[in-house]
Chain A
């Protein structure tokens, strides 16, 4: 009796092991080499990390599920490069946890949206897309301007990202909340710290037009304006050799 039972067990466990072997090899072969990251991804020495305000904006982009309609990945195809700009490089999303390459363009690609339009355009467009683009089918995000940005836990966000490999320094983590305010309040005492920590090229603006407070609109526009601008690697690549 025990003998027979043991045999049956062995059969089903054997099946399980065979399934695991058959199904795992493909994933391992394709994924493992990508973890020799320094060799998969181009060099971009000047690349900076997201500021706390941009990161908060990115988290709003994640929260609202923007990836469902907007890609952030320009493919190496002529028409895409001419429509959107230089094709995307792996290095450009090296600090993106998660990546937001997307899979569908119900709306246009956003990989080169940074700097393409003014802050006012973005605010008006997010308030009601059809005020700016009459045929748009994007939802209105007017509640962003009405909603104060939650900043109290930003240091924890930076810490979590540091743990998964984003090179935030201790002072960036410590000053995360101040920097979020500083970036949206030009000419304030806090603004200088942002430049010190994240570089001269960092946008210090009242993104939503109101320097007095930091809204979710500030954060999202700050993020949109930095997409594709953390490094110039893609633009340099374009001048040295054309796509296709």
Chain B
């Protein structure tokens, strides 16, 4: 990767890595009596690896001017592999904690192995590790293609990708040591939050700079979705993580908001993380890769624009539906519920647009598992958004909230929609980026597809059942007018469902492992003959940067 950087970029990379090492050193010294010290060492190690990497490639010849006639695909490739690694790690941890609910003794009497510390590793690993890296990688791909231009420079994409993964690593290692803000989906502490802000600004700048270089006058709608993702996530992240550190040598901080305000800010963040991380960015993916793979333009470009503004506008209001019947003022709850229901309109516009694009190409969906991944993703997006609007209605929420029904809903979205569209996009991208004729084994793509489908159905149905049973048992009265079931009664009723859920998750994890194997084997297979793809000149940095070329 260093060979693709210009000399100036190599120098800047060296300075950044050096500064990062220095920050790591300072934090490890200042926090030597605190988990912060260990986190400082991770930063130091990361920075030193950067220094080492740059120095080891420093002497290589600079890339030539010819690079401007190629897209810059190396960071995309790295992002895909990193995303798959996160997927496997985080799905494994997710399945592990699922088994813990069925067999709680499996914690080895160790603090780090308890459900409360492992669960955020699963959520952060999936949402930010798997989802985030996939978003970054695909956005680099889409922004270049749709703008018909190369990324604005060679260093920032690596800074964004590397820096972002440092954030993820700090987050999950922190949880193991008990470093957490206990704010759902915003658990990382103040120093990691500051770092992510820096990385995010670089990401935003890179996006705008690349768009500014575009040769295609119109900005394709996928970029709108990606831009909304970058911008709004920045806004949410900064506001929700405003905190007062105990000291510069302590990993602990206290949020500036308290009680009811903190609850509203947290769920404004929490639901919009779903909206702009897991929906907006992923719709950007859908609107690019689905038409590409189907070989047909999107059904209606106008629908995609209306859907975009609807989602961007409506979503921000709906966070308060997480706080129905709580101490939050009722008018805020009502507002959240109303907008949640209205949100169904733009959501279904997007889902319908995707499915209508496939209308007339169903034979391709039947034959091509990669396209089928994308089709199922659009289907689950439609289902999950319908369920979401439904669950946001106050009386429904009174039953579903606090139960496994919420878990079912979230996983219908993350497994059925987010993961499926990522896998679809990756199966499309891998042969293309690595210049292979096709994926290593189309059969294994089929196997992955059906494992994933089976896993989702077992998981979601188990959690729907357990959630509804839980909710009903908690509110059932007997003839004498007292509550019929103790909490433990409801817990006992969950046991078979917890086993089923863990089994479903295991199937999904197996699919992901097979997918990763298939991707690796595709990369290792011999490149396609150049002549079959002569409209695509080799854009791989390594091959065209050999000295003497």
Chain A residues engaging chain B, CB cutoff 8 angstroms: 5, 8-9, 11-13, 15-16, 19-20, 22-27, 29-31, 33-35, 37, 40-41, 59, 61-69, 71, 73, 75-77, 79-80, 82-83, 88-109, 129-130, 133, 135-143, 153, 156-157, 160-161, 163-166
Give the complex CA separation of A157 and B260 in angstroms.
Answer: 21
- Given A139-B114, A160-B254, answer yes or no on A103-B322 (Cβ-Cβ < 8 Å): yes
Whether B339 is near chain A, meaning CB under 8 Å from some CB there, is yes
B180's partner among A35, A63, A140 (CB-CB below 8 A) is A63
- By beta carbon, the residue of chain A nearest B212 is A9
User: Nearest 10 pairs between A and B by C-beta?
Assistant: A65-B116, A26-B316, A75-B325, A93-B259, A26-B317, A90-B327, A139-B114, A63-B178, A105-B402, A97-B254
Starting from the known contacts A13-B208, A140-B109, 10 additional A-B residue pairs (CB-CB under 8 Å) come to A12-B212, A20-B231, A27-B316, A63-B180, A75-B401, A93-B259, A97-B256, A97-B258, A107-B487, A164-B258
Chain B residues engaging chain A, CB cutoff 8 angstroms: 100-102, 104-105, 107, 109-111, 113-117, 119-120, 175, 178-184, 208, 211-212, 214, 217, 219, 224, 227-228, 231-232, 235, 239, 244-247, 250, 252-266, 268, 272, 276, 309, 312-317, 319-320, 322-329, 332, 335-336, 339, 398, 401-403, 406-407, 474-475, 477, 482-483, 487-488, 491-492
A161's partner among B102, B228, B254, B339 (CB-CB below 8 A) is B254
Query: What are 22 A-B interface contacts by the 8 Å CB criterion?
Result: A15-B219, A26-B314, A27-B268, A27-B316, A31-B264, A34-B260, A37-B261, A68-B115, A69-B115, A73-B326, A75-B324, A77-B325, A91-B259, A97-B254, A100-B182, A101-B263, A104-B402, A139-B115, A143-B109, A153-B246, A156-B250, A160-B244
Q: Do the beta carbons of B266 and A99 come within 8 Å of each other?
A: yes
A34 cross-chain contacts in B, Cβ below 8 A: 260-261, 264, 329, 332
Give the complex CA separation of A23 and B227 in angstroms.
Answer: 12
> What distance in Å separates the Cβ of B508 from its nearest Cβ neighbour in chain A?
21
Q: Do the beta carbons of A8 and B217 come within 8 Å of each other?
A: yes
Give the complex CA separation of A61 and B116 in angstroms.
Answer: 10
Q: Do the beta carbons of B263 and A99 come within 8 Å of each other?
A: yes
Q: Do the beta carbons of A11 and B219 come within 8 Å of each other?
A: yes
- By beta carbon, the residue of chain B nearest A143 is B111
B316 cross-chain contacts in A, Cβ below 8 A: 23-27
| Contact residues of B: prevailing secondary structure | helix
A95 cross-chain contacts in B, Cβ below 8 A: 258-259
Q: Do the beta carbons of A163 and B228 come within 8 Å of each other?
A: no
- By beta carbon, the residue of chain B nearest A84 is B487
B239 cross-chain contacts in A, Cβ below 8 A: 27
A59 cross-chain contacts in B, Cβ below 8 A: 252
A138 cross-chain contacts in B, Cβ below 8 A: 104
Give the complex CA separation of A100 and B254 in angstroms.
Answer: 13
A164's partner among B105, B254, B322, B329 (CB-CB below 8 A) is B254
Give the complex CA separation of A48 and B344 in angstroms.
Answer: 45
Q: Do the beta carbons of A62 and B319 come within 8 Å of each other?
A: no
Give the complex CA separation of A24 and B110 in angstroms.
Answer: 43
Q: Do the beta carbons of A157 and B246 come within 8 Å of each other?
A: yes
Q: Do the beta carbons of B214 and A8 come within 8 Å of each other?
A: yes
- By beta carbon, the residue of chain A nearest B325 is A75
B101 cross-chain contacts in A, Cβ below 8 A: 106, 137
> What distance in Å separates the Cβ of B210 from its nearest Cβ neighbour in chain A?
10
Count of A-B contacts judged by CB separation below 8 Å: 259
B232 cross-chain contacts in A, Cβ below 8 A: 19, 23
A69 cross-chain contacts in B, Cβ below 8 A: 115-116
Give the complex CA separation of A165 and B259 in angstroms.
Answer: 12
- By beta carbon, the residue of chain B nearest A137 is B104
Q: Do the beta carbons of A103 and B491 come within 8 Å of each other?
A: no
Give the complex CA separation of A8 and B149 in angstroms.
Answer: 14
- By beta carbon, the residue of chain B nearest A41 is B260
Q: Do the beta carbons of B406 and A24 come within 8 Å of each other?
A: no
Q: Do the beta carbons of B259 and A94 come within 8 Å of each other?
A: yes
> What distance in Å separates the Cβ of B143 from its nearest Cβ neighbour in chain A?
11
A64's partner among B116, B184, B401, B403 (CB-CB below 8 A) is B116
> What distance in Å separates the Cβ of B375 from its nearest Cβ neighbour in chain A?
28
- Given A77-B398, A83-B474, answer yes or no on A98-B182 (Cβ-Cβ < 8 Å): yes
B260's partner among A5, A99, A109 (CB-CB below 8 A) is A99
Q: Do the beta carbons of A98 and B211 come within 8 Å of each other?
A: no
A68 cross-chain contacts in B, Cβ below 8 A: 115-116, 119-120
Q: Do the beta carbons of B492 and A135 come within 8 Å of each other?
A: yes
Give the complex CA separation of A94 and B323 in angstroms.
Answer: 16
A27, A96, A100, A130 interface centre (most CB from chain B within 10 Å)? A27
Q: Do the beta carbons of A65 and B107 come within 8 Å of each other?
A: no
Give the complex CA separation of A71 and B403 in angstroms.
Answer: 11
- By beta carbon, the residue of chain A nearest B111 is A143
Q: Do the beta carbons of B327 and A73 come within 8 Å of each other?
A: yes
Give the complex CA separation of A11 and B179 in angstroms.
Answer: 43
B180 cross-chain contacts in A, Cβ below 8 A: 62-63, 65
Give the complex CA separation of A109 and B474 in angstroms.
Answer: 12
Give the complex CA separation of A191 and B190 in angstroms.
Answer: 35
Q: Do the beta carbons of B403 and A105 come within 8 Å of each other?
A: yes
> What distance in Å separates the Cβ of A96 from its nearest Cβ neighbour in chain B?
5
Give the complex CA separation of A16 and B272 in angstroms.
Answer: 18
A71 cross-chain contacts in B, Cβ below 8 A: 402
- Given A16-B208, A16-B227, A82-B483, answer yes or no on A66-B116 (Cβ-Cβ < 8 Å): yes
A12 cross-chain contacts in B, Cβ below 8 A: 208, 211-212, 219
B231 cross-chain contacts in A, Cβ below 8 A: 16, 19-20, 23
- By beta carbon, the residue of chain A nearest B310 is A22
B259's partner among A64, A99, A156 (CB-CB below 8 A) is A99
Q: Do the beta carbons of A93 and B258 come within 8 Å of each other?
A: yes
Q: Do the beta carbons of A96 and B327 come within 8 Å of each other?
A: no
> What distance in Å separates the Cβ of A128 from its nearest Cβ neighbour in chain B?
9
Q: Do the beta carbons of A31 and B265 come within 8 Å of each other?
A: yes
Q: Do the beta carbons of A139 and B107 come within 8 Å of each other?
A: yes
- Given A65-B117, A137-B101, answer yes or no on A160-B245 (Cβ-Cβ < 8 Å): yes
> What distance in Å separates the Cβ of B264 from its nearest Cβ neighbour in chain A?
5
Q: Do the beta carbons of B491 and A135 come within 8 Å of each other?
A: yes
> What distance in Å separates the Cβ of B246 from its nearest Cβ neighbour in chain A?
5
Q: Do the beta carbons of A96 and B402 come within 8 Å of each other?
A: no
> What distance in Å separates the Cβ of A215 from its nearest Cβ neighbour in chain B?
14
Give the complex CA separation of A80 and B403 in angstroms.
Answer: 13
Q: Do the beta carbons of B326 and A64 come within 8 Å of each other?
A: no
Q: Do the beta carbons of B487 and A64 come within 8 Å of each other?
A: no
- Given A16-B208, A75-B326, answer yes or no on A30-B487 (Cβ-Cβ < 8 Å): no
B250 cross-chain contacts in A, Cβ below 8 A: 153, 156
> What distance in Å separates the Cβ of B13 from its nearest Cβ neighbour in chain A?
27
- Given A9-B212, A99-B266, A153-B247, answer yes or no on A165-B258 (Cβ-Cβ < 8 Å): yes
Give the complex CA separation of A99 and B259 in angstroms.
Answer: 5
- Given A79-B483, A103-B322, A138-B104, answer yes or no on A157-B119 (Cβ-Cβ < 8 Å): no
